[in-house]
């Protein structure tokens, strides 16, 4: 415990007064405000003399979380009080009973839901460590079941931790950022908290891909200085027309977020210059009467159609989320319009929202509660949220699932888009995208799913494995003597359906595994191969399964025939030979680590194939081999969420050692001409002295595309190759691609 200085006390007092100002807009009456004051005094005394890692008084964290809760999420006094008290039980001698006695049962319940699992991991075995991190998230899932405000406050807590993450050691920072990307960002999206989601994403990018983040933010800063003022010219006639129509409005201008740009570049294969929705203009209007809200939204869109010529609108970018709100409640009209300019035109996304729609977009489900309390008619958000919560209940109510399995199912639920289908009577049902007719059958009723034999989709007969699309009308055909089959697990997508079928088949599972093991052994002998751990691993990886047990079960249950076993083994063995020289462990003369990890072997992970110069993270396995991933690798994010305790401290490349080569792939695109392939390969091989392992070029209609696999010593060399190749006559674009092991 340390004494606080006058500056410390002044900082705390200023933050407290700032919170009170924000709270006054949400509390109802002096009693609620007094409760907030009492909670601050209680928490301030409990955390007295304690500092955060950043050096500031610890009470600044609960104050900041409470401010986010009220200002950015829009919750009321009970949530503000719970946010102020959320670390008291965990970090001090006070108990939940003390909170209940000092405040009330509801606030104590919220604080109890927020209290983290605090267990020393250092002396625990690996299995326990793995489960504890997932168990913490399992508890979060259970609080979703009890009171969604607990999760909203938890999001506020995580957001403040993200805002102050720079004070943490790098290996702890990576763990928190991994958890944030895997769980909290999808959760914020599902709950409609776009502002929180976007800030978390940008912070993740800043630390996981610092070079890309810096490059994008610098380009955005240049745009802010250059083209951004041209939006004033674009907005001027809109403002004039809205005033003339007597519409009360506010217009905001913004640029696309760095993470959104990075993600589009990475997934769409485009360059920064090819992103057409960099600019956005938001029109926020206040309708004269609540009943005119929707008609006024379309009136504003009609005004835009009168101002700008029809060809100025990008036809495939019109989005009506007013007539058909998103499942998280988002409502708006979107359209994309060309902003004409003497130098170069550019696209502008225009979003039209009422003040209520904007509040819901910024504050998600909390805004729904606020408007419902005021008697405003809302879209059917409550039913959609109930559907999402019901699916979460189905995930956590599986008694046979481990904490990690629950975590994976929850991640899938949060990140999968929704579709809407209809029953024969026209009732709406929401499912995750990719769901099949059998998933739908199980959502209707367990017995309907268990006895299903086929489906009628839009009056046509289909198998149960048929994937559904939004708008489908579905009828399930059943038979009394039908029963769940193991092969159903091959195409089921929803947690509820999978859990029911697994539970039904539970008694038969070991029989399937035993039978499958015998079949695999027999098939390998027929191919003249040993029944070895190496070959089994090649097989289950080749069939995209996670474990040998999964392989045996799939074979034994008839879901996998092994008819192509020789091809799969050949393909995987060939693939292994390509990767073998860097998949084999090497000593740490290529990578520097802390003293505790010196002398250990390293493996470059084939899921992302980092090369010297890439930001990297290392995970230590049970054999004391350290697996190196890119920091932005999806698998690394998953490992950070589940096995954060295995992260090694701050591995860095040894840039002095250039004796080792690493695989990299580039894609090339441009206008075809005689000799262009020769120019490309000459530069790579003779000028740069880089080994080309594989070429794949195609030409069609005067345009060529190609992939080139290289062996490089560093990212710096690869960047040089990319930069120089773009200067060759005819080449339009060169970019690095991911190499992922099949």
Backbone φ and ψ for 699, nearest 5 degrees, come out as -130, 135
Distance CA 386, CA 209 (A): 37
Q: Hey, is 396 helix, strand or coil?
A: helix
Residues 6+ apart with CB under 8 A from 430: 327, 384, 387, 418, 419, 420
Q: How far is CA 191 from CA 100, 182, 196, 203, in A?
A: 29, 15, 10, 20
Q: What is the DSSP string of 339-363?
A: E--SS--EEEEEEEEEHHHHHHHHH
- The residue count for the chain: 742
Cβ neighbours of residue 528 under 8 Å, at least 6 residues apart?
none
Compute the distance between CA of residue 324 and CA of residue 420 in angstroms, rounded to an integer.
11
3-state SS string over 282-345?
EEEEECCCHHHHHHHHHHHHHHHHHHCCHHHECHHHCEECCCCCCCCCCCCEEEEEEECCCCCC
Nearest residue to 137 (alpha-carbon basis) of 156, 116, 157: 116
Q: Is residue 234 within 8 Å of 339, Cβ to Cβ?
A: yes
Contact 474, 423 (CB under 8 A): yes
For residues 338 and 314, what is the distance between their CA atoms, to the nearest angstrom? 8
Under the phi-then-psi rule, with left for phi > 0, alpha for psi from -120 to 50, and beta for the rest, what region is 400? alpha
Of the candidates 156, 175, 152, 150, which has an alpha carbon nearest to the alpha carbon of residue 165? Answer: 175
What are residue 737's DSSP bridge partners? Answer: 665
Alpha-carbon gap, residue 526 to 524, rounded angstroms: 5
Catalytic annotation on 91? yes
> Which pair of structure tokens corresponds to residue 404?
């990690």
CB atoms within 10 A of CB 248: 13
Considering the candidates 21, 34, 45, 90, report the single residue annotated as catalytic.
90
Cα dist. 603→572, 580, 582, 623, 736 in Å? 18, 10, 7, 12, 22
Return the residue matching tokens 């250990």.
600
Q: How far apart are CA 71 and CA 545, in angstroms?
A: 46
Q: Is 589 a catalytic residue?
A: no
Print burial letters for 252-271: b (CB count within 10 Å at least 16), e (below 16). eeebbbbbbbbebbeeeeee
Q: Which two tokens stand for residue 671?
A: 């206008």
Backbone angles phi, psi at 567, to 5 degrees: -65, -45
Classified as helix, coil or strand, 712 is strand
Q: Which of 8, 18, 32, 91 is catalytic?
A: 91
Could you tell me which residues come within 8 angstroms of residue 598 by beta carbon, excluding any fewer than 6 positions away? 588
Is residue 638 within 8 A of residue 629, CB to CB? The reply is: no
Catalytic positions: 90-91
């Amino acid at each position: 415990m340390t004494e606080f200085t006058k500056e410390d006390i002044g900082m705390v007092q200023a933050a407290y007064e700032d919170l009170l100002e924000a709270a006054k807009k949400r509390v109802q009456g002096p009693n609620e405000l007094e409760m907030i004051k009492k909670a601050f005094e209680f928490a301030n005394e409990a955390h007295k003399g304690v500092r955060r890692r950043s050096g500031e008084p610890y009470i600044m964290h609960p104050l900041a979380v409470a401010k986010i809760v009220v200002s950015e999420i829009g919750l009321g006094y009970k949530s503000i009080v719970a946010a102020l008290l959320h670390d008291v039980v965990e970090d001090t001698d006070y108990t939940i009973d003390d909170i209940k006695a000092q405040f009330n049962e509801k606030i104590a319940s919220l604080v109890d839901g927020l209290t983290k699992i605090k267990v020393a991991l250092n002396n625990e075995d690996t299995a326990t460590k793995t489960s504890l991190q997932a168990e913490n998230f399992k508890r979060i899932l259970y609080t979703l079941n009890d009171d969604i405000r607990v999760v909203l406050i938890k999001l506020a807590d995580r957001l403040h931790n993200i805002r102050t993450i720079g004070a943490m050691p790098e290996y702890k920072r990576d763990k928190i950022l991994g958890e944030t990307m895997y769980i909290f960002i999808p959760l914020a999206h599902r709950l409609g908290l776009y502002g929180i989601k976007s800030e978390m994403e940008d912070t993740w990018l800043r630390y996981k891909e610092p070079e890309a983040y810096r490059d994008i933010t610098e380009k955005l800063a240049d745009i802010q200085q250059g083209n951004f003022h041209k939006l004033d010219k674009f907005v001027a006639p809109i403002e004039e027309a809205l005033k003339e129509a007597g519409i009360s409005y506010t217009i905001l201008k913004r640029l696309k977020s760095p993470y959104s740009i990075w993600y589009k570049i990475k997934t769409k294969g485009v360059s920064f210059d090819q992103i057409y929705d960099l600019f956005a203009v938001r029109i926020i209007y206040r309708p004269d009467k609540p009943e005119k809200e929707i008609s006024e939204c379309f009136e504003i869109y009609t005004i835009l159609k009168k101002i700008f010529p029809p060809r100025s609108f990008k036809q495939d970018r019109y989005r009506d989320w007013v007539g058909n709100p998103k499942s998280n409640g988002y409502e708006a009209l979107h359209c994309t319009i060309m902003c004409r300019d003497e130098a170069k035109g550019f696209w502008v996304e225009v979003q039209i929202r009422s003040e209520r729609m904007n509040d819901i977009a910024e504050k998600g489900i909390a805004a729904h509660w606020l408007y419902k309390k005021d008697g405003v008619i809302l879209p059917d958000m409550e039913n959609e949220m109930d559907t999402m919560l019901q699916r979460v209940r189905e995930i956590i109510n599986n008694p046979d699932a481990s904490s990690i399995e629950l975590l994976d199912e929850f991640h899938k639920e949060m990140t999968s888009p929704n579709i809407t289908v209809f029953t024969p009577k026209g009732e709406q049902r929401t499912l995750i995208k990719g769901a099949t007719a059998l998933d739908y059958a199980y959502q209707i009723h367990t017995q309907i799913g268990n006895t299903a034999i086929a489906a009628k989709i839009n009056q046509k007969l289909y198998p149960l494995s048929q994937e559904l699309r939004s708008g489908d009308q579905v009828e399930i055909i059943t038979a009394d003597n039908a029963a769940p089959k193991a092969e159903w697990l091959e195409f089921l997508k929803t947690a509820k359906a999978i859990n029911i079928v697994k539970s039904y088949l539970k008694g038969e599972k070991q029989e399937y595994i035993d039978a499958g093991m015998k079949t695999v052994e027999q098939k390998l002998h027929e191919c003249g191969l040993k029944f070895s751990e190496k070959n089994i691993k090649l097989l289950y990886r080749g069939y995209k399964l996670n474990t040998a047990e999964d392989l045996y079960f799939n074979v034994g249950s008839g879901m996998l025939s092994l008819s192509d076993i020789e091809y799969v083994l050949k393909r995987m063995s060939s693939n292994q030979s390509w990767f073998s020289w860097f998949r084999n462990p090497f000593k740490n003369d290529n990578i520097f680590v802390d003293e505790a990890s010196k002398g250990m072997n390293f493996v470059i992970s084939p899921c992302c194939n980092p090369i010297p110069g890439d930001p990297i993270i290392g995970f230590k396995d049970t054999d004391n081999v350290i697996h190196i991933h890119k920091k932005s690798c999806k698998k690394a994010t998953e490992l950070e969420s589940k096995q954060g305790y295995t992260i090694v401290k701050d591995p860095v490349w040894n840039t002095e050692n250039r004796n080792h080569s690493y695989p990299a792939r580039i894609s090339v695109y441009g206008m075809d001409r005689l000799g262009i392939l020769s120019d490309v390969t000459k530069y790579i091989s003779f000028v740069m002295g880089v080994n080309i392992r594989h070429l794949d070029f195609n030409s069609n209609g005067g345009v060529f595309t190609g992939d080139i696999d290289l062996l490089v010593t560093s990212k710096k060399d690869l960047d040089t190759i990319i930069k120089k190749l773009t200067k060759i006559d005819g080449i339009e674009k060169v970019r690095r691609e991911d190499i992922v092991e099949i």
